[in-house]
Chain A
Protein backbone atom coordinates (compact mmCIF):
# COMPACT_ATOMS: atom_id res chain seq x y z
CA UNK A 1 0.00 0.00 0.00
CA UNK A 2 1.34 3.40 -0.98
CA UNK A 3 1.98 6.11 1.57
CA UNK A 4 1.78 9.62 0.14
CA UNK A 5 4.42 12.07 1.37
CA UNK A 6 5.79 15.51 0.64
CA UNK A 7 9.52 16.16 0.56
CA UNK A 8 11.19 19.48 -0.11
CA UNK A 9 14.79 19.19 -1.28
CA UNK A 10 16.25 22.29 0.40
CA UNK A 11 19.36 22.14 -1.83
CA UNK A 12 17.17 22.68 -4.86
CA UNK A 13 14.53 25.11 -3.61
CA UNK A 14 15.18 28.56 -5.07
CA UNK A 15 12.40 30.33 -3.14
CA UNK A 16 10.51 31.19 -6.32
CA UNK A 17 7.14 30.64 -4.62
CA UNK A 18 5.73 28.93 -7.71
CA UNK A 19 4.36 26.18 -5.43
CA UNK A 20 2.46 28.78 -3.40
CA UNK A 21 1.04 30.33 -6.55
CA UNK A 22 0.18 26.95 -8.06
CA UNK A 23 -1.67 25.95 -4.89
CA UNK A 24 -3.63 29.19 -4.73
CA UNK A 25 -4.48 29.00 -8.41
CA UNK A 26 -5.47 25.34 -8.38
CA UNK A 27 -7.63 25.49 -5.29
CA UNK A 28 -8.85 29.10 -5.40
CA UNK A 29 -7.82 29.47 -1.78
CA UNK A 30 -9.58 32.34 0.03
CA UNK A 31 -7.75 35.61 0.62
CA UNK A 32 -5.56 35.46 3.73
CA UNK A 33 -5.25 31.67 3.69
CA UNK A 34 -1.92 30.11 2.71
CA UNK A 35 -2.08 26.36 2.42
CA UNK A 36 1.56 26.35 1.37
CA UNK A 37 4.35 28.82 1.97
CA UNK A 38 8.10 29.03 1.49
CA UNK A 39 10.24 29.49 4.60
CA UNK A 40 13.82 30.72 4.38
CA UNK A 41 16.21 29.54 7.07
CA UNK A 42 19.37 31.51 8.00
CA UNK A 43 18.37 34.30 5.64
CA UNK A 44 21.34 36.26 4.30
CA UNK A 45 23.93 33.85 5.67
CA UNK A 46 26.07 31.36 3.70
CA UNK A 47 23.98 28.49 5.04
CA UNK A 48 20.73 30.01 3.77
CA UNK A 49 18.17 27.44 2.70
CA UNK A 50 14.52 27.58 1.71
CA UNK A 51 11.86 24.95 2.22
CA UNK A 52 8.31 24.82 0.97
CA UNK A 53 5.98 23.96 3.86
CA UNK A 54 2.38 22.79 3.99
CA UNK A 55 0.46 20.05 5.77
CA UNK A 56 2.81 17.05 5.80
CA UNK A 57 -0.05 14.54 6.22
CA UNK A 58 1.56 13.10 9.34
CA UNK A 59 1.44 9.41 10.18
CA UNK A 60 0.09 10.05 13.67
CA UNK A 61 -1.50 13.42 12.93
CA UNK A 62 -1.52 15.64 16.06
CA UNK A 63 -4.32 17.76 14.58
CA UNK A 64 -6.59 14.70 14.50
CA UNK A 65 -5.56 13.76 18.03
CA UNK A 66 -6.67 17.07 19.52
CA UNK A 67 -9.78 17.73 17.41
CA UNK A 68 -12.75 17.88 19.82
CA UNK A 69 -15.28 17.05 17.10
CA UNK A 70 -13.20 14.35 15.34
CA UNK A 71 -13.52 15.88 11.91
CA UNK A 72 -10.24 14.40 10.59
CA UNK A 73 -9.82 11.16 8.65
CA UNK A 74 -6.95 9.53 6.80
CA UNK A 75 -7.27 7.94 3.37
CA UNK A 76 -5.83 4.51 2.66
CA UNK A 77 -2.70 6.10 1.22
CA UNK A 78 -2.10 8.33 4.24
CA UNK A 79 -3.59 11.65 3.16
CA UNK A 80 -5.03 13.52 6.17
CA UNK A 81 -8.30 15.25 5.29
CA UNK A 82 -11.13 16.83 7.26
CA UNK A 83 -14.86 17.46 7.08
CA UNK A 84 -15.64 21.18 7.12
CA UNK A 85 -19.26 20.48 8.04
CA UNK A 86 -18.06 19.13 11.39
CA UNK A 87 -15.27 21.64 12.04
CA UNK A 88 -16.18 24.24 14.66
CA UNK A 89 -13.11 26.42 14.08
CA UNK A 90 -11.81 26.00 17.63
CA UNK A 91 -8.19 26.28 16.48
CA UNK A 92 -6.83 23.38 18.57
CA UNK A 93 -5.37 21.80 15.43
CA UNK A 94 -3.45 25.01 14.75
CA UNK A 95 -1.78 24.82 18.16
CA UNK A 96 -1.04 21.10 17.78
CA UNK A 97 0.42 21.18 14.26
CA UNK A 98 4.24 21.41 14.21
CA UNK A 99 4.15 22.83 10.67
CA UNK A 100 1.56 25.60 11.14
CA UNK A 101 -0.56 24.04 8.42
CA UNK A 102 -4.14 24.73 9.61
CA UNK A 103 -5.41 28.06 8.32
CA UNK A 104 -8.51 30.03 9.24
CA UNK A 105 -10.28 32.43 6.90
CA UNK A 106 -11.48 34.66 9.80
CA UNK A 107 -14.55 35.76 7.88
CA UNK A 108 -17.04 34.97 10.65
CA UNK A 109 -18.63 37.59 12.89
CA UNK A 110 -17.14 38.65 16.25
CA UNK A 111 -13.60 37.58 15.30
CA UNK A 112 -14.59 33.92 14.84
CA UNK A 113 -11.97 31.89 13.05
CA UNK A 114 -14.26 30.17 10.59
CA UNK A 115 -13.83 26.62 9.32
CA UNK A 116 -10.27 25.36 9.23
CA UNK A 117 -8.62 25.10 5.82
CA UNK A 118 -5.44 23.22 4.98
CA UNK A 119 -3.56 21.46 2.22
CA UNK A 120 -5.51 18.43 1.03
CA UNK A 121 -2.68 16.94 -1.08
CA UNK A 122 -5.05 18.05 -3.88
CA UNK A 123 -7.41 15.25 -2.81
CA UNK A 124 -10.52 17.33 -2.04
CA UNK A 125 -12.75 16.28 0.84
CA UNK A 126 -15.66 14.03 1.84
CA UNK A 127 -17.96 15.05 -1.01
CA UNK A 128 -18.50 13.51 -4.47
CA UNK A 129 -15.19 13.59 -6.33
CA UNK A 130 -14.68 16.67 -8.51
CA UNK A 131 -18.14 18.05 -7.76
CA UNK A 132 -18.76 21.81 -7.52
CA UNK A 133 -19.51 21.46 -3.81
CA UNK A 134 -16.20 19.71 -3.21
CA UNK A 135 -14.28 22.30 -5.21
CA UNK A 136 -15.87 25.21 -3.35
CA UNK A 137 -15.24 23.74 0.09
CA UNK A 138 -11.94 21.92 -0.30
CA UNK A 139 -10.48 22.84 -3.67
CA UNK A 140 -9.34 20.64 -6.50
CA UNK A 141 -9.33 16.83 -6.36
CA UNK A 142 -6.41 15.98 -8.63
CA UNK A 143 -5.73 12.64 -6.94
CA UNK A 144 -9.11 11.29 -8.10
CA UNK A 145 -8.11 12.32 -11.63
CA UNK A 146 -4.81 10.42 -11.36
CA UNK A 147 -2.75 13.58 -10.94
CA UNK A 148 -0.36 14.63 -8.17
CA UNK A 149 -0.52 17.89 -6.16
CA UNK A 150 -0.21 21.01 -8.31
CA UNK A 151 2.55 22.51 -6.13
CA UNK A 152 4.91 19.59 -6.76
CA UNK A 153 4.07 19.20 -10.42
CA UNK A 154 4.64 22.94 -10.95
CA UNK A 155 8.05 23.03 -9.20
CA UNK A 156 10.59 24.11 -11.81
CA UNK A 157 13.65 22.70 -10.02
CA UNK A 158 11.81 19.56 -8.87
CA UNK A 159 12.71 20.49 -5.30
CA UNK A 160 9.23 19.69 -4.07
CA UNK A 161 8.37 16.02 -4.42
CA UNK A 162 4.92 14.59 -3.73
CA UNK A 163 4.03 10.96 -4.15
CA UNK A 164 4.48 7.51 -2.67
CA UNK A 165 7.05 7.77 0.13
CA UNK A 166 9.22 4.96 -1.23
CA UNK A 167 9.47 6.51 -4.69
CA UNK A 168 10.11 9.94 -3.18
CA UNK A 169 12.94 8.66 -0.98
CA UNK A 170 14.43 6.68 -3.90
CA UNK A 171 14.72 9.78 -6.03
CA UNK A 172 15.98 11.88 -3.13
CA UNK A 173 18.68 9.36 -2.19
CA UNK A 174 19.88 9.20 -5.80
CA UNK A 175 20.19 12.97 -5.80
CA UNK A 176 22.10 13.00 -2.50
CA UNK A 177 24.51 10.34 -3.75
CA UNK A 178 25.04 12.21 -7.01
CA UNK A 179 25.89 15.49 -5.32
CA UNK A 180 27.85 13.76 -2.50
CA UNK A 181 25.87 15.61 0.12
CA UNK A 182 24.13 14.66 3.30
CA UNK A 183 20.44 13.83 3.34
CA UNK A 184 18.32 16.53 4.93
CA UNK A 185 14.74 15.36 4.82
CA UNK A 186 13.32 18.44 6.46
CA UNK A 187 10.24 17.65 8.57
CA UNK A 188 10.12 13.94 7.75
CA UNK A 189 11.09 12.66 11.17
CA UNK A 190 8.54 14.92 12.86
CA UNK A 191 5.80 14.03 10.41
CA UNK A 192 6.42 10.36 9.72
CA UNK A 193 8.22 9.17 12.85
CA UNK A 194 11.71 7.95 13.59
CA UNK A 195 11.48 5.03 11.17
CA UNK A 196 12.01 7.19 8.07
Chain B
Protein backbone atom coordinates (compact mmCIF):
# COMPACT_ATOMS: atom_id res chain seq x y z
CA UNK B 1 0.00 0.00 0.00
CA UNK B 2 2.79 2.38 0.97
CA UNK B 3 4.73 1.45 -2.14
CA UNK B 4 1.65 2.19 -4.27
CA UNK B 5 1.26 5.61 -2.63
CA UNK B 6 4.93 6.32 -3.27
CA UNK B 7 4.54 5.35 -6.92
CA UNK B 8 1.46 7.58 -7.32
CA UNK B 9 3.27 10.45 -5.59
CA UNK B 10 6.29 10.00 -7.83
CA UNK B 11 4.01 9.92 -10.87
CA UNK B 12 2.21 13.09 -9.81
CA UNK B 13 5.52 14.83 -9.12
CA UNK B 14 6.91 13.73 -12.48
CA UNK B 15 3.78 14.95 -14.26
CA UNK B 16 3.92 18.28 -12.43
CA UNK B 17 7.57 18.78 -13.40
CA UNK B 18 6.79 17.87 -17.00
CA UNK B 19 3.85 20.30 -17.11
CA UNK B 20 5.82 23.09 -15.49
CA UNK B 21 8.73 22.61 -17.87
CA UNK B 22 6.22 22.89 -20.73
CA UNK B 23 5.28 26.34 -19.43
CA UNK B 24 8.90 27.53 -19.61
CA UNK B 25 9.49 30.42 -21.94
CA UNK B 26 12.92 31.66 -22.87
CA UNK B 27 13.19 35.36 -22.18
CA UNK B 28 16.36 35.75 -24.24
CA UNK B 29 15.47 37.67 -27.41
CA UNK B 30 16.76 36.40 -30.75
CA UNK B 31 19.15 39.03 -32.06
CA UNK B 32 19.41 39.41 -35.83
CA UNK B 33 22.11 41.35 -37.59
CA UNK B 34 20.37 43.71 -40.00
CA UNK B 35 21.42 43.43 -43.61
CA UNK B 36 22.94 39.97 -43.25
CA UNK B 37 21.50 37.23 -45.44
CA UNK B 38 19.82 34.59 -43.32
CA UNK B 39 18.73 32.05 -45.88
CA UNK B 40 20.23 28.83 -47.22
CA UNK B 41 23.65 28.81 -48.86
CA UNK B 42 23.63 28.63 -52.64
CA UNK B 43 25.90 25.86 -54.01
CA UNK B 44 26.47 28.03 -57.09
CA UNK B 45 28.55 30.39 -54.95
CA UNK B 46 31.20 27.71 -54.46
CA UNK B 47 31.16 26.81 -58.14
CA UNK B 48 31.75 30.42 -59.14
CA UNK B 49 34.78 30.70 -56.86
CA UNK B 50 36.73 28.49 -59.24
CA UNK B 51 37.84 30.01 -62.53
CA UNK B 52 36.66 27.11 -64.72
CA UNK B 53 33.00 28.05 -64.81
CA UNK B 54 33.82 31.73 -65.30
CA UNK B 55 36.12 30.93 -68.21
CA UNK B 56 33.39 28.77 -69.74
CA UNK B 57 30.86 31.62 -69.39
CA UNK B 58 33.25 34.17 -70.89
CA UNK B 59 34.01 31.87 -73.80
CA UNK B 60 30.31 31.36 -74.41
CA UNK B 61 29.71 35.12 -74.27
CA UNK B 62 32.42 35.77 -76.85
CA UNK B 63 30.83 33.21 -79.16
CA UNK B 64 27.21 34.24 -78.55
CA UNK B 65 27.43 38.04 -78.46
CA UNK B 66 29.74 38.65 -81.42
CA UNK B 67 28.14 39.46 -84.76
CA UNK B 68 28.25 36.58 -87.17
Determine if B58 and A144 form an interchain contact, defined as CB atoms under 8 angstroms apart: no
B64–A2 touching, CB < 8 Å: no
Say yes or no for A184: interface residue by CB 8 A criterion: no
Does B24 make an interface contact (CB < 8 A)? no
- Counting chain A CB atoms within 10 Å of each CB, the highest count among B49, B54, B56 belongs to B54
**A148 at interface by CB-CB < 8 Å:** yes
Q: Is the interface of B mostly helix, strand, loop or mixed?
A: helix
Known contacts A70-B37, A126-B39; is-contact A164 B58 (Cβ 8 Å) = yes
**Does the CB pair B38–A128 fall under 8 Å?**
no
Within 8 Å CB of A127, what residues of B? 40, 42
Residues of B within 8 A of A141 (CB): 44
- Chain A 64-81 residues near chain B, CB threshold 8 A: 64-65, 69-73, 75-77, 81
Smallest beta-carbon distance B57→chain A, Å? 6
The complex places the Cα of A164 from the Cα of B48 at a distance, in Å, of 13
A82–B40 Cα distance when bound, in Å, is: 10
Check B62 for interface membership: any CB of A closer than 8 A. yes
**Are the C-beta atoms of A70 and B34 separated by less than 8 Å?**
yes
The residues of B that contact A81 with a CB separation of less than 8 Å are: 42
- Chain A positions within 8 Å of B, measured between CB atoms, are 2, 64-65, 69-73, 75-77, 81-83, 85-86, 123-129, 141, 143-144, 146-148, 152-153, 158, 161-164, 167-168, 171
Known: A83-B39, A143-B57. 10 other contacts (CB 8 A): A65-B35, A83-B40, A86-B39, A124-B44, A125-B42, A141-B44, A148-B57, A158-B66, A164-B54, A171-B66
